Structures are given as structure tokens and as C-alpha cells.
Amino acid sequence: MFIKLWQQKTPLSKKLIIDLTSVEFIDSTFLGVIVNSLKKVAKLGGDLKLV
């Protein structure tokens, strides 16, 4: 549910940076969000960075 709302409300930029410095664990749901975001940004000719 959160992912669908986020995708509808958040405009997608060509440059996306995801800061994971405080993250200790990533589950498969969030990993899917990262992969889908990368695909969408790549279609726009952009890039996604994980820090």
C-alpha cells in the first residue's frame, strides 16, 4: 500500500539517491522498490545511486 501511494505522489527524477547509511537490514519488498525505481529512472535516461 505505501509503495503505491509513494509512486502516485512522488514525481520521479532523473537522478535518485537512496541513503542507506542507517539501514541495517533490507527486506525483499524494499529491494523490489529499489529495482523498480532503477528501471523507471533508467527509462528517463537517469541514474540511481545507493550510499
Domain ranges of the chain: 2-50
Render pLDDT for 1-51 as a digit per residue (tens, 0 to 9): 445 555 555 566 678 888 888 989 999 998 998 898 888 888 888 888 898
What pLDDT was estimated at residue 28? Answer: 94
* pLDDT value for 6: 53
Helix or strand (DSSP H, E) at 17: strand 15-18
pLDDT at 1: 43
CA–CA separation, 14 and 47 (whole Å): 6
